Amino acid sequence: MSLASGPGPGWLLFSFGMGLVSGSKCPNNCQCQAQEVICTGIQLAEYPPDVPLNTRRLYLNDNRITFLPAMNLGLLSDLVYLDCRNNLIREVMDYTFIGVFRLIYLDLSSNNLTLISPYSFSMLSNLVQLNISNNPHLFSLNKYTFANTSSLRYLDLRNTGLQTLDNAAFQNLLTLQTLYLSENPWKCNCSFLDFTIYLIVSHLNHPDEQNATCVEPAELAGWPITQVGNPLRYMCITHLDRQDYIFLLLIGFCIFSAGTVAAWLTGMCAVLYQNARRKASEDEAEDEHGQRGDDSGRIFQNRADSGQDGFPQLI
């Protein structure tokens, strides 16, 4: 069954059955009250069973959970608040939150995240606050990670190991107001230019602006990334490095050499052509002179013969 086709009858029956079994229970060692389940700091190694299906706020923080099961979360269709900070979660797979489309608050900070799949948050169009800070081995985010989180207003990316960000990842975040970016090893090279320009024109609130700085290149190290847009644009668009000058010098030398060779070949061809024409002209002149000599000899011979015929021969 494809995800686009929606849940089938079997899935709905399973959900109903789960509701009969666990709809009114509370997980062991957790506290349940008024649609709120608190399982904070009880050394959970996995997602707890028996979470009531009408839960709206779920606290799983300060445990040892390594994985969030999409099937179990999908049963909590009323969930609006999910706190998973300070666990051992390594990956968030595509459609993990497919059933919790009403979710407004999600905290995945202080885990061991190394991967957030491109469509992990694709069903969270109502998400307002997302915190994935303090995951120093995350390193990168796909440009589709926030494609459908169009209601997002608060995004925390502090201490995630990110080195660069694709400007396209933020194109749909039209309501974003607050963005944290500090404690990351930002590489402010030319591929980072579009994102730095976005930071300038978007007028977002950056509470940690002075601590979100470049580590590369050396001439921009220590610069806040919110202020590096114009210098970086100068370096990438109008500024030429030593390698660029060497390249231009080589190109100029090649063009000069090619022009010189072409001019020499053209000159040689012209000289050969002129010599050929001169030789042809000389041959034509010689042929014409020889023809005139032959004609003169025939005329003289004809006149001599005519003279002999006009006078009687003396004996």
Q: Which residue has the higher pLDDT, 45 or 298?
A: 45
Mean pLDDT of 91-107: 96
Provide the pLDDT for residue 6.
Answer: 42
Q: Do 251 and 119 share a structural domain? A: no
With a cut of 90, say whether residue 222 has pLDDT above it. Answer: yes
pLDDT one-digit tens code per residue, 147-158 = 999 999 999 999
Q: Do 249 and 220 share a structural domain? A: no
Q: Return the CATH number at 23.
A: 3.80.10.10
Provide the pLDDT for residue 95.
Answer: 92
Q: Residue 198 is inside which H or E element, if any?
A: helix 193-202
Provide the pLDDT for residue 9.
Answer: 42
Mean pLDDT of 130-147: 96
Query: Cβ neighbours of residue 295 under 8 Å, at least 6 residues apart?
Result: none
Q: Do 256 and 212 share a structural domain? A: no
Do the domain assignments include residue 289?
Answer: no
With a cut of 70, say whether residue 130 has pLDDT above it. Answer: yes
Structural domain range at position 165: 11-240
Spatial separation of the C-alpha atoms in residues 159 and 155, rounded to whole Å: 13
- Residues 199, 226 contacting (CB under 8 angstroms): yes
Q: Do 215 and 266 share a structural domain? A: no
Residue 298 confidence class, pLDDT cut points 50, 70, 90: low
Residue given tokens 């000599």 in the structure block = 293
With a cut of 90, say whether residue 303 has pLDDT above it. Answer: no
Q: Residue 215 is inside which H or E element, if any?
A: strand 214-216
Residue 296 confidence class, pLDDT cut points 50, 70, 90: low
Q: Do 251 and 157 share a structural domain? A: no
Residue 139 confidence class, pLDDT cut points 50, 70, 90: very high
pLDDT one-digit tens code per residue, 256-291 = 888 888 888 888 888 888 888 887 777 777 767 666
Q: Do 76 and 118 share a structural domain? A: yes
Q: Do 218 and 74 share a structural domain? A: yes
According to DSSP, residue 311 is labeled: S
Q: Do 232 and 253 share a structural domain? A: no
With a cut of 80, say whether residue 1 has pLDDT above it. Answer: no
Mean pLDDT of 227-251: 80
Q: Which residue has the higher pLDDT, 241 or 237?
A: 237
Residue given tokens 């030319």 in the structure block = 190
Provide the pLDDT for residue 16.
Answer: 43
Structure token pair of residue 298: 């025939």
R_g of the chain, CA atoms, integer Å: 44
Provide the pLDDT for residue 304.
Answer: 58
Count of Cβ atoms closer than 10 Å to residue 29 Cβ: 11
Tell me whether the omega of the peptide bond preceding residue 231 falls within 30 degrees of 0, making it cis. no
Provide the pLDDT for residue 302.
Answer: 60
Q: Do 181 and 267 share a structural domain? A: no
Residue 300 confidence class, pLDDT cut points 50, 70, 90: low
Mean pLDDT of 140-168: 96
Do the domain assignments include residue 49?
Answer: yes
Count of Cβ atoms closer than 10 Å to residue 274 Cβ: 10
Q: Do 206 and 106 share a structural domain? A: yes
Spatial separation of the C-alpha atoms in residues 4 and 195, rounded to whole Å: 32
Query: Mean pLDDT across the chain, nearest whole number?
Result: 86
Do the domain assignments include residue 156?
Answer: yes
Q: Do 254 and 226 share a structural domain? A: no
With a cut of 60, say whether residue 175 has pLDDT above it. Answer: yes
Residue given tokens 């114009």 in the structure block = 230
Domain count of the fold of the chain = 2
Provide the pLDDT for residue 251.
Answer: 86
Structure token pair of residue 235: 């370096």
Which stretch of 106-110, 120-124, 170-174, 302-306 has the lowest confidence by average pLDDT? 302-306
- For a pLDDT cut of 90, what percent of the chain falls above it? 65
pLDDT one-digit tens code per residue, 52-77 = 999 999 999 999 999 999 999 999 99
**At 28, is the secondary structure helix, strand, or coil?**
coil
Provide the pLDDT for residue 252.
Answer: 85
Structure token pair of residue 161: 């190991």
